[in-house]
């Protein structure tokens, strides 16, 4: 039932899993009869899918039968065949540029001669004719800017099973873009993503509390898709749906029986400091004593919906619902992984070690004259403690020792090493979360997710996730993001406008 | 509970009711304190709504609180205040034309110099940079073509209750357009309608069978919105949801507990010829004996969704569901009103009588020389029978007599008159349905609806609806549209492409 979870840390939380639906092996090609030469390209299937694609895209309103044939055919293709279809879709049915160009020349000439740069035509003008013509031309331009595949995608979405197929198509497209980053494919992805955002508008999604009374076919999906803290067995699942816990899913009517995203919540006395106490400490407290709703896992199920923030609205609605049902709950917080911390730290250490070596070779080792790219990763006292803790005697620098120690996960087993690393790792993790940026936003994907939703960074917790994965991705540190009800909107706005990260006084 | 049903025939079926939600009277203006001079314009409410509108439209991502304030404020306005807001929305936040113009000049110059009229840039070009730039510019153009209110409408749709508010706004807008047909308002309507079509994509709608077990709050809505054959009392409602009947609604997750459209079905041995046998003949047959699923009523509940064809997909899904659940049902047909027939016929008679009078005055009464606009509405033998049936002796022509008789509904009470009118009315009705056009489509709105969904005109039925409304709108005639499963797609395509109307041999 459960699939193995590779530690693709960025994919783990708040994004879809990186692998698409298992692709069924293609059925025997219908015609021509299967060639015994297995090295021949398996093009027959793709050719028939291309046929249905063309039939659907060319029609004013594509026939449901043609769309169904396309869907079935597409699903039966292997990834090579699917990629061929996607290239054809993007390239052969692109924006009608010649028409667009003509319409623009026409518009520019009319609006230049007729308008004299007038910004607002409609209301004030006495004669509505010219304004009508302008709006008509703008509508025509909007149509000409739509790629020819636009109607096909719309019609597919209206078909039973169509939305799911479009999610599969986008997952395939993202995989193809990973190998082949062509502008025409990016344009298809951009268009499809924009449409999916509209179709998956929160208004169309239904919030449902998932319980032990739900069908096994649904619960099976929760087990399969839980990406943060894998569900070990039925007892584990039952516990997560039982007293003191909640699980909510966001469902779309066109994809029944399968949440697009789901969130797991623990009802606690206070904000938890380790995943241990959330998941495995028994018994849970009585629900009436709960003061804190702790979100400890959010998982997406559709890789094709990557980059579409469904979690934001899910969180909002879950908070609203919990507030209504449990007025005693006052604290809404997460206990979240920090998927990018160790990767960032190891890269930082490696580059600093390299810089130091280069300077040494160039004889530029005079204090004060060191490269402006050098920075002190460790404080002097931290360096001393690490030196003392590493029993092996050598003349390595503190950052080299740190690199050596972190590269294996063995340090966790030594109390001495753990104690020595706690202070520098906590300090560096705090800096990583609160200050490291990528295009003005938090570098860490999970941090970025919660900050854009209006959370603040409340606290980081040492040895909060001692699983192998936890040690590997963040040295076992986890973070509490806090949703302060009175500040959610303000924080979300200031983060999106200026990248301002709110943290408790301890976070820097 | 039930509202009075005015005989606005075109609005009755397949369209929303023409009146918007009951508008609550505006609350006292918050400030300045209510003036004792009641003739002063009640502008304070509208001014505050305009404030929230401006705050929402100007923000990069409108705050939920501002959207809520706008919603509450808008709902509290009277129709004059609402119209003021709609004018402001359409005019003050229109397409950013100056920017659009600049971007176009830029695009035209680049694509002329760089492309040389090349139609497909993306895939073949060696250097992706130029193609990337082109796609980026096209994306920018697409953005500039969007009115400034686009983001506001999107954000509103994502709010709880937002979709419903947008439907109310569109209903108000349609009412305003009826009085004030300005291009800028039409453009707002066009944009909003397009977005509503996307948001109400069939993929987002859930089909639900409405039964006596549903909440009273839902059933109350069925009673209130049944627009074709008003529900008289609870017994009538219970019968329509009971054995031998079905009622299905299309629901959107954002508007819970209220179908957007619903359809009523009777399970019968054969296609019914009168509404009497569908609605009131007891007892219904055993369901296992049913051979025909008869759709006898389709009602929309949201006037703001006028022109958005939700019924097409509803019909399709209902047919699919019935086929699966009841394999013995082979006939899928309607018993439908003909809302425009009598109106058309009376207009036709009036214009012919006028033409005849004019010719008489001009002395141009020679046979064969009559105006080319004259046509023989009645056949000679029909004219004779009508003369005989009308006991009053006078020298009026047949069409004048017919007009006199039809203008009052009293003819139904006379067997002699009814018998005399049957043949001409049935013949003319058949012609009206199968041949009268408006922009290439069937003139009758209900006929157009079923034909575009792939039905054929199977049969018309004399004295099929003897209610006052039925006599008034179609002389009591009703029509069976037949959905032949094997032809639905073909008929829908040919009707939409060429306006071809399929009818049984009897229909001409």
| Tens digits of residue pLDDT in A85-114 | 999 999 999 999 999 999 998 888 887 654
Question: B223-234 in b/e burial notation, b at 16+ Cβ within 10 A?
Answer: bbbbbbbbbeee
Q: How far is A338 from chain B (nearest CA, A)?
A: 28
CB B170 within 8 A of CB B304: yes
Residues of chain A with Cβ-Cβ distance to B61 below 8 Å are 493, 496
| Main-chain dihedrals φ then ψ at residue B73, nearest 5 degrees | -65, -45
Residues B456 and B374 reside in one and the same domain = yes
What residues of chain B, 253 to 272, have a C-beta less than 8 Å from chain A?
Answer: 253-254
Would you place residue A409 in the very low, low, confident or very high pLDDT band (cuts 50, 70, 90)?
A: confident
Instruction: Reduce the DSSP state of residue A442 to 3 states and report it.
Output: strand
- Average pLDDT of chain A is 84
Q: How far apart are CA A141 and CA A144, in angstroms?
A: 5
- Listed residue (B363, B449, B342, B347) closest to B9, CA to CA: B342
- Given A199, A231, A264, the domain boundary residue is A199
Residues of chain B with Cβ-Cβ distance to A159 below 8 Å are 203
Handedness of CA B285, B287, B289, B295 (dihedral sign): positive
Q: How far apart are CA B360 and CA B378, in angstroms?
A: 19
Q: Over the stretch A226-260, which tens digit does the pLDDT of each residue have?
A: 888 888 888 888 889 988 999 999 999 999 899 99
Better pLDDT: B233 or A504: A504
CB contact under 8 A, A101 and B108: yes
On the question of pLDDT at A30 being above 50, the answer is no
Helix (H) or strand (E) holding A92: helix A79-92
- Which of A33-42, B82-91, B120-129, B378-387 is the least confident region? A33-42
Which whole number is the average pLDDT over B146-153? 95
Residues of chain B with Cβ-Cβ distance to A112 below 8 Å are 101
Question: B307-316 in b/e burial notation, b at 16+ Cβ within 10 A?
Answer: ebbbbbbbbb
Q: How far apart are CA A447 and CA B193, in angstroms?
A: 38
- Which of A376-385, B325-334, B388-397, B411-420 is the least confident region? B388-397
At residue A44, the pLDDT reads 63
- Listed residue (A151, A147, A144, A142) closest to A57, CA to CA: A151
Q: Is residue A34 part of a domain?
A: no
B163 alpha-carbon distance from chain centroid: 19
Q: Is residue A37 part of a domain?
A: no
CB contact under 8 A, A60 and B497: yes
Q: Is residue B37 part of a domain?
A: no
User: Which of A183, A252, A497 is nearest residue B131 as measured by Cβ atoms?
Assistant: A183
On the question of pLDDT at B197 being above 80, the answer is yes
Alpha helices in A93-215 (DSSP H): 97-115, 128-145, 150-158, 162-179, 183-199
At residue A122, the pLDDT reads 44
A101 CB within 8 Å of a chain B CB: yes
At residue B415, the pLDDT reads 92
Residues A353 and A431 reside in one and the same domain = yes
Q: Is residue B53 part of a domain?
A: yes
- Listed residue (B241, B243, B251, B244) closest to B219, CA to CA: B241
Locate A79 and state its tokens: 């990834």
Residues A471 and A494 reside in one and the same domain = yes
**DSSP per-residue letters across B491-507:** HHHHHHHH----B-TT-
∠ at Cα B452 (B448, B457), nearest 5°? 65
A450 is catalytic: yes
On the question of pLDDT at B46 being above 70, the answer is yes
| Residue B38 burial by Cβ neighbours in a 10 Å radius (0-12, 13-18, 19+) | exposed
Which whole number is the average pLDDT over B25-41? 41
Residues A170 and A245 reside in one and the same domain = no
Residues B180 and B240 reside in one and the same domain = no
B98 CB within 8 Å of a chain A CB: yes
Residues B392 and B478 reside in one and the same domain = yes
Q: Which residues pair with B265 in a beta bridge?
A: B246, B295
A502 is catalytic: no
Residues B271 and B175 reside in one and the same domain = no
Q: How far is A351 from chain B (nearest CA, A)?
A: 31
- Which of A280-284, B79-83, B427-431, B493-497 is the least confident region? A280-284
Long-range contact list for A8-11, CB < 8 A, 24+ apart? A9/A337, A9/A339, A9/A340, A9/A343, A9/A473, A10/A339, A10/A340, A10/A445, A11/A227
Q: Provide CB contacts within 8 A for A114, sequence distance 6+.
A: A130, A134
CB B482 within 8 A of CB B295: no
Q: Provide CB contacts within 8 A for B330, sequence distance 6+.
A: B291, B292
CB contact under 8 A, A201 and B157: yes
CB B12 within 8 A of CB B227: yes
At residue B30, the pLDDT reads 42
Q: Is residue A39 part of a domain?
A: no
Helix (H) or strand (E) holding B261: strand B261-268
Q: How far apart are CA A450 and CA A337, in angstroms?
A: 12
CB contact under 8 A, A204 and B252: yes
- Which of A12-16, A90-94, A473-477, B67-71 is the least confident region? A12-16
On the question of pLDDT at A284 being above 90, the answer is no
At residue A453, the pLDDT reads 93
| Main-chain dihedrals φ then ψ at residue B429, nearest 5 degrees | -65, -40
What residues of chain B, 123 to 152, have a C-beta less than 8 Å from chain A?
Answer: 123, 128, 131-132, 134-135, 138-139, 141-142, 145
Q: Over the stretch A147-159, which tens digit does the pLDDT of each residue have?
A: 999 999 999 999 8
Crossing angle for the helix pair B162-179 and B64-76, nearest 10 degrees? 40
CB contact under 8 A, A203 and B104: no
Better pLDDT: A172 or A38: A172
At residue B203, the pLDDT reads 86
At residue A234, the pLDDT reads 83
- Given B304, B334, B364, the domain boundary residue is B334
- Listed residue (A108, A27, A71) closest to B102, CA to CA: A108
Strands B292-300 and B331-334: parallel
Residues A358 and A402 reside in one and the same domain = yes
**DSSP per-residue letters across B408-469:** SGGGGG-HHHHHHHHHHHHHHHHHHHHH-EETTEESSHHHHHHHHTT-EEEEEETTS--SHH
CB A30 within 8 A of CB A44: yes
CB B124 within 8 A of CB A160: no
Residues B184 and B293 reside in one and the same domain = no
Would you place residue B436 in the very low, low, confident or very high pLDDT band (cuts 50, 70, 90)?
A: very high
- Domain at A168, CATH number: 1.20.140.90
Instruction: Kindly state the percentage of chain A with pLDDT values over 90.
Output: 60
Q: Is B331 left (phi over 0), alpha (psi -120 to 50) or beta?
A: beta
Q: Over the stretch B471-487, which tens digit does the pLDDT of each residue have?
A: 999 999 999 999 999 99
At residue B371, the pLDDT reads 60
Q: Which residues pair with B214 in a beta bridge?
A: none
- Average pLDDT of chain B is 85
Beta strands in B130-215 (DSSP E): 206-209
Residues of chain B with Cβ-Cβ distance to A205 below 8 Å are 253
Q: Provide CB contacts within 8 A for A210, sequence distance 6+.
A: A218, A219, A222, A241, A247, A248, A249, A259, A262
Would you place residue A360 in the very low, low, confident or very high pLDDT band (cuts 50, 70, 90)?
A: confident
Residues B349 and B408 reside in one and the same domain = yes
Instruction: Kindly state the percentage of chain B with pLDDT values over 90.
Output: 60
Q: Over the stretch A422-444, which tens digit does the pLDDT of each residue have?
A: 999 999 999 999 999 999 999 99
On the question of pLDDT at B389 being above 90, the answer is no
Residues B179 and B282 reside in one and the same domain = no
Would you place residue B43 in the very low, low, confident or very high pLDDT band (cuts 50, 70, 90)?
A: low
Q: How far apart are CA A255 and CA A260, in angstroms?
A: 8
Strands A441-442 and A245-251: unpaired
CB B159 within 8 A of CB B71: yes
Handedness of CA B271, B276, B277, B279 (dihedral sign): positive
Helix (H) or strand (E) holding A249: strand A245-251
Locate A495 and state its tokens: 């983060």
Would you place residue A364 in the very low, low, confident or very high pLDDT band (cuts 50, 70, 90)?
A: low
Which whole number is the average pLDDT over A49-55? 93
Which residue from A minimizes the CA distance to B110? Answer: A101
Which whole number is the average pLDDT over B138-150? 93
Catalytically annotated residue among B274, B297, B336, B430:
B336
Residues B275 and B406 reside in one and the same domain = no
Would you place residue B129 in the very low, low, confident or very high pLDDT band (cuts 50, 70, 90)?
A: confident
Q: How far apart are CA A482 and CA B13, in angstroms?
A: 52
At residue B68, the pLDDT reads 94
For A26, A290, A319, the CA distances from A323, given in Å and listed in that order, are 50, 12, 6
At residue B313, the pLDDT reads 87
For A282, A424, A459, A465, A475, the CA distances from A412, given in Å and listed in that order, are 25, 15, 21, 11, 9
Structural domain of B244? 203-334
Would you place residue B125 in the very low, low, confident or very high pLDDT band (cuts 50, 70, 90)?
A: very low
Q: How far apart are CA B210 and CA B298, in angstroms?
A: 14
At residue B281, the pLDDT reads 67
Domains identified in chain B, total number: 4
Locate A302 and state its tokens: 């559709």
Which residue from A minimizes the CA distance to B128? Answer: A183
A122 CB within 8 Å of a chain B CB: yes
The tokens 């302060």 sit on which residue?
A: A484
Q: Is residue B155 part of a domain?
A: yes
ipTM score assigned to the predicted complex:
0.75
Q: Using the 8-state DSSP alphabet, how is residue A292 labeled?
A: E
Q: Is residue A2 part of a domain?
A: no
Q: Is residue B3 part of a domain?
A: no
- Which of A27-31, A158-162, A392-396 is the least confident region? A27-31
First to last CA, chain A: 42
**DSSP per-residue letters across A229-248:** S---SHHHHHHHHSTTEEEE
* Chain A interface test: which of B183, B250, B319 (most A C-beta within 10 Å): B183
- Domain at A299, CATH number: 3.40.630.150
On the question of pLDDT at A40 being above 50, the answer is no
CB B55 within 8 A of CB B62: yes
Half-sphere exposure of A239 (CA within 13 A, CB side): 14
Residues of chain A with Cβ-Cβ distance to B138 below 8 Å are 95, 100, 145, 187
A498 CB within 8 Å of a chain B CB: no
B101 CB within 8 Å of a chain A CB: yes
Q: Using the 8-state DSSP alphabet, how is residue B268 labeled?
A: E
Handedness of CA A62, A65, A71, A74 (dihedral sign): negative
A157 CB within 8 Å of a chain B CB: yes
Instruction: Reduce the DSSP state of residue A294 to 3 states and report it.
Output: strand
- Listed residue (A351, A494, A344) closest to A433, CA to CA: A344
Q: How far is A149 from chain B (nearest CA, A)?
A: 14
């Amino acid at each position: 039932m459960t699939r193995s979870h590779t530690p693709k840390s960025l994919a783990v939380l708040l994004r879809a899993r990186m692998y698409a639906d298992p692709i069924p092996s293609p059925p025997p090609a219908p015609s021509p009869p299967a060639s015994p030469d297995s090295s021949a390209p398996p093009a027959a299937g793709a050719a028939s899918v291309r046929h249905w694609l063309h039939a659907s895209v060319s029609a004013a309103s594509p026939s449901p039968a043609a769309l169904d044939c396309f869907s079935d055919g597409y699903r039966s293709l292997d990834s090579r065949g699917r990629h061929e279809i996607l290239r054809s879709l993007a390239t052969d049915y692109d924006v009608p540029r010649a028409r667009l160009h003509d319409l623009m020349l026409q518009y520019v000439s009319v609006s230049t001669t007729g308008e004299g740069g007038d910004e607002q035509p409609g209301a004030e003008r006495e004669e509505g004719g010219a304004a009508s013509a302008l709006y008509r031309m703008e509508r025509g331009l909007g149509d000409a800017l739509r790629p020819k595949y636009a109607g096909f995608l719309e019609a597919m979405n209206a078909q039973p099973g169509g939305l799911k197929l479009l999610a599969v198509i986008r997952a395939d497209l993202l995989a193809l873009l990973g190998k082949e980053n062509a502008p025409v494919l990016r344009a298809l992805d951009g268009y499809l993503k924009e449409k999916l955002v509209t179709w998956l508008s929160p208004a169309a999604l239904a919030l449902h509390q998932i319980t032990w009374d739900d069908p096994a076919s649904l619960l099976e999906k929760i087990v399969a898709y839980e990406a943060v803290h894998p569900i070990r067995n039925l007892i584990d699942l039952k516990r997560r749906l039982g007293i003191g816990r909640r699980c909510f899913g966001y469902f779309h009517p066109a994809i029944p029986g399968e949440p697009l995203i789901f969130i797991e919540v623990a009802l606690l006395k206070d904000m938890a400091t380790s995943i241990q106490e959330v998941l495995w400490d028994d018994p849970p407290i009585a629900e009436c004593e709960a003061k804190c709703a702790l979100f400890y896992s959010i998982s997406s199920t559709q890789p094709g919906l990557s980059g579409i923030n469904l979690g934001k609205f899910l969180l909002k609605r879950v908070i609203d619902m919990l507030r209504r049902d449990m007025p005693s709950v006052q604290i809404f917080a997460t206990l979240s992984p920090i998927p990018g911390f160790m990767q960032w730290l190891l890269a930082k250490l490696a580059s600093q070690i390299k810089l130091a070596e280069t300077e040494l070779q160039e004889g530029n080792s005079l204090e004060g004259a060191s490269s402006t790219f050098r920075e002190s990763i460790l404080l002097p006292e931290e360096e001393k403690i690490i030196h003392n803790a590493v029993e092996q005697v050598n003349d390595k620098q503190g950052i080299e020792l740190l690199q050596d120690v972190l590269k294996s996960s063995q340090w966790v087993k030594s109390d001495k090493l753990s104690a020595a690393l706690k202070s520098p790792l906590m300090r560096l993790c705090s800096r990583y979360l609160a200050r490291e940026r990528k295009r003005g936003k938090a570098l860490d994907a999970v941090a970025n997710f919660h900050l854009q939703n209006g959370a603040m960074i409340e606290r980081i917790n040492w040895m909060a996730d001692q699983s192998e994965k936890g040690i590997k991705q963040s040295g076992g540190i986890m973070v509490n993001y806090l949703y302060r009800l009175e500040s959610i909107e303000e924080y979300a706005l200031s983060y999106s406008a200026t990248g301002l990260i709110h943290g408790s006084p301890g976070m820097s």
